[in-house]
Amino acid sequence: MKICVLGTGYVGLVSAAVFSELGHEVVGLDIDEAKVKSLKAGKIPIYEPGLAELVSHNLDSGRLSFTDFYPEALKGAEVVFICVGTPPKADGSYDSKFVYSAAESIAKNLKNEAVIVIKSTVPPSTAETVKAIIAQTAKVKFSVASVPEFLREGQAVNDALHPNRIVIGADSPQAEQVLTKLHRKFNCPILIMSPASAQLVKYASNSFLATKISFINSMAILADKVGADIADVAKGLGMDPRIGAAFLNPGLGYGGSCFPKDTWALIAFAESLGYDFKFLKQVDQVNNDQIDYFIAKMGNVKGKILTILGLAFKPNTDDVREARSTVLTAKLKKMGAIIHAYDPVVKGEFTDPYQALVNSDGLVLVTEWQMFLDLDWAKVKQVMRRPNIFDGRNFLDKEKLKKIGFKYWGIGRQ
C-alpha cells in the first residue's frame, strides 16, 4: 500500500519506518526542512533504540523516503497518517494548530481518493473538524478515521512492531476495510469503533496510567509516615491480577510529552462539555505536590551544590518535554541551590557524571538510567563534598550506599 506520514517526530518516524518494514511504500513528510535533510541522509534526529537501523534499512530498500513537499508526499497515497504534535496551551487544552494546518495542506494537495488517519492524540470532535477543513477544498473522495498510537518512547520500535492492540475509529465501511487490511500483519486484536470512542481510548489509557502513579506516590507518603517500605507494598498490591504490577513505581511523579499534556487536555475537554473531572484534577495535583514532598527531604538547599543525575523524562530517550528534571531544577534554583546536571544522552554542561558531582552537597537521582546503578560509588563519595543521596526513583541500592557511608533518602523507603 502507498502510505504518507505527516510529521516525522517520535510517533511519525517510528510509524513510517515500521510500515515500510512491513513492505509498504512510505513517504514521511515534515515541515521542518533541517529534519527532512537529515533524515534523507539517514541521520535520526532523536534517540530511540533500534530506530536508526530500521530507517536506514528501509531507506536502502527504497520503500521509505522523506520530503518536505506536500504534493510529492500525497501523490498516490491511499492512507495518510497525521502524526503532528498536539502540545498543551497555557490553559491545559490541546493546541490544535498543527493538526488543522496539516489538514489544510492535505485539502490543497490531495489529488486521489484516500483515508486520512489521525494518529496524533486529539480529543473527540477533532475528526469532524479535520473532515470539514479538507471537505472545503479537496476535489476528491476521502474519509477521516482515528487510529491512536500507544507506543512508549525508549521502546517505540518494538511497541510499534508488536502492538498489544490496534484501535480503529472509522465512520465509513470503506475506511474500516482499508485500515483493517493495512493492520492485518500485526499479531494483535483489532478493535473497530467510532472515531470518538477511539480517541477516548487513548486519553483513558494515559489518564489511567497517570492515576496509578499518583496513587502509589500517595501510598509512598503514608509508607514514609509509618516506616513501611513502599516496594513491598507495591509488590503485594501488584500481584493482584485485577490491579497488575505495572506503573506502581513510586518516585518524583510522571512527566514526558504525553501523560501531563493528555491529562490536562482531558480535564479541559471535559470542562468544555460542562463536566468537572475532579478525579483527574486530583491526580494532576498529587503529581505536582510530589516534587515539593521530595524537595522537603533535602532540608535547606540555599547555596548548596546539588547534582541532578538524569534529565530525560525517562531512561532510553532524549525527550525532556515536561521532564521532572526541569520542574525540579527550576524549584531548587528558586530556593537558592546551585544545580549541576548530567544525562548520558541529553546534552548538558557536564559530559561526565563524576565531574558533575565534584564538590556536590547532594546527588539527586531523577532518571533511572542503567548506567547510574553501575557508578563507581567510592569515587562518587570521594569527589562529593557531602555524601547525601536523594533518590527520586527509589532506584539505587540503598544498603550498598549506606555501607559505603552515604546518607540515603528515597520515597516511601527508609
Ligand X SMILES: NC(=O)c1ccc[n+]([C@@H]2O[C@H](COP(=O)([O-])OP(=O)(O)OC[C@H]3O[C@@H](n4cnc5c(N)ncnc54)[C@H](O)[C@@H]3O)[C@@H](O)[C@H]2O)c1
Residues in the annotated binding site? 30, 35, 86, 121, 150-153, 202, 247-251, 255, 261, 314, 321
CB of 256 to ligand X, least distance (A): 7
Among 4, 83, 188, 258, the active-site one is 258
Cell digits of residue 254:
510522571
| Residue 136 CB neighbours (<10 A) | 10
Cα gap 81→3, rounded to integer Å: 8
Work out which of 5, 16, 26, 29 binds ligand X, going by CB under 6 A.
29
200 touches 262 (CB < 8 A): no
Is 153 a binding residue for ligand X by CB under 6 A? The answer is: yes
Q: Which is nearer to ligand X, 58 or 146 (CB)?
A: 146
Question: Which span sits near ligand X by CB under 6 A: 96-104, 213-221, 246-254, 339-347?
Answer: 96-104
| Residue 382 CB neighbours (<10 A) | 12
CA 176, distance to chain mean position in Å, is 28
Q: Which is nearer to ligand X, 323 or 396 (CB)?
A: 323
Cα gap 132→216, rounded to integer Å: 43
Is 28 a binding residue for ligand X by CB under 6 A? The answer is: no
Question: Could you confirm whether 188 is annotated as catalytic?
Answer: no
Sites for ligand X among residues 236-295 (CB under 6 A)? 257-258
Cα gap 272→181, rounded to integer Å: 36
Is 84 a binding residue for ligand X by CB under 6 A? The answer is: yes
Q: Which is nearer to ligand X, 149 or 176 (CB)?
A: 149
Is 10 a binding residue for ligand X by CB under 6 A? The answer is: yes
Residue 393 amino acid letter: R
Cα gap 94→198, rounded to integer Å: 17
Residue written as grid cell 521542518: 32
Cα gap 148→198, rounded to integer Å: 7
Q: Which is nearer to ligand X, 80 or 380 (CB)?
A: 80
Is 9 a binding residue for ligand X by CB under 6 A? The answer is: yes
Cell digits of residue 183:
493492520
Residues designated as active site: 258
**Binding stretches for ligand X (CB under 6 A):** 6-12, 29-32, 35, 83-86, 98, 101-102, 105, 120-121, 149, 151, 153, 257-258
